[in-house]
């Protein structure tokens, strides 16, 4: 795997698409703060990311699976990877059998409109790209929403891959230039844990750090 300095962490894709300015504060200024929404998310992931194997509905469940893809410049962790025995699946050396793989991304709240948020979907796609490359397969992908206790399947198209590639290029360019993007017009900041640091009601200006 390439040096982490040249790679993009999977979860930062969601953070960038949710709010490029917030992402810049975390990426360039190393700013961070927590609120109730962050704490709820952490609790969900503490329950999921135990790093232990389990079983559910005849599937082997691997948790906190570390993945990467050098071609895409991505690395990160999959919350939950389900393995179901299938003669047409990929060979998993750990078990010496073939499995169909399913990625499950856990979220605290379901969106008010639609089945999923695009920024969350791009994070899930990044996980899929990494897992597909490592295991030489075509993983199924789902969201699980804790508030509704429902799974939502997500199928990706070519334009989704193109959008993710474009997004990663934008992130790389901003990171190399040490630029914090300005706050977008119409950006909703009510639930943001960095609201007090960012001060969205104040002057909206472009920040840049010089070496």
Task: Express each pLDDT in 160-191 by its tens digit.
Answer: 999 999 999 999 999 999 888 888 777 666 66
- Cα–Cα nearest to 135, from 164, 168, 102, 165: 102
Residue ranges per structural domain of the chain: 4-208
Asked which of 92-101, 104-113, 184-193 is least confident by mean pLDDT, the reply is: 184-193
- What is the average pLDDT value for the chain, to the nearest integer? 82
The per-residue pLDDT for 193 is 64
Q: How confident is the model at residue 43 (pLDDT cuts 50, 70, 90)?
A: very low
Q: Maximum Cα–Cα distance for the chain, whole Å?
A: 60
pLDDT of residue 195: 59
Q: With respect to CATH, is domain 4-208 assigned 3.90.320.10?
A: yes
With H, G, I as helix, E, B as strand and everything else as coil, classify residue 104: strand
Structural contact between residues 42 and 53, judged by C-beta atoms closer than 8 angstroms: no
- Model confidence band, residue 210 (pLDDT cutoffs 50, 70, 90): very low
d(CA 173, CA 44): 33
Please check whether residue 32 is in contact with residue 42, taking contact to mean a CB–CB distance below 8 angstroms.
no
Distance (Å, rounded) from C-alpha 95 to C-alpha 159? Answer: 35
Distance CA 54, CA 63 (A): 8
pTM, entire model: 0.81
Supply the pLDDT for residue 87.
Answer: 96
Q: How far apart are the first and last CA of the chain?
A: 27
Model confidence at 41, pLDDT cuts 50, 70, 90, reads very low
């Amino acid at each position: 795997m390439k040096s982490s300095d040249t790679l993009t962490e999977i979860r930062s894709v969601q953070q960038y698409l949710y709010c490029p300015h917030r992402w810049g504060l975390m990426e360039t200024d190393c700013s961070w703060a927590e609120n109730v929404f962050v704490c709820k998310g952490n609790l969900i992931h503490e329950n999921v990311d135990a790093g232990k194997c389990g079983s559910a509905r005849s599937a082997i469940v691997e948790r906190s699976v570390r993945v990467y893809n050098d071609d895409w410049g991505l690395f990160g962790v999959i919350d939950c990877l389900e393995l179901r025995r299938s003669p047409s699946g990929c060979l998993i050396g750990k078990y010496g059998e073939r499995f169909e793989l399913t990625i499950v991304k856990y979220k605290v709240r379901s969106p008010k409109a639609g089945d999923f948020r695009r920024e969350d979907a791009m994070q899930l796609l990044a996980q899929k790209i990494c897992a597909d490359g490592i295991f030489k397969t075509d993983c199924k992908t789902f969201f699980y929403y804790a508030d509704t206790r429902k799974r939502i399947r997500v199928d990706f198209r070519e334009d989704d891959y193109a959008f993710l590639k474009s997004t990663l290029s934008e992130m790389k360019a901003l990171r190399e230039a040490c630029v914090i993007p300005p706050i977008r017009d119409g950006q909703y900041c009510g639930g943001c844990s960095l609201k007090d640091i960012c001060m969205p009601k104040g002057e909206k200006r472009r920040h840049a750090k010089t070496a």
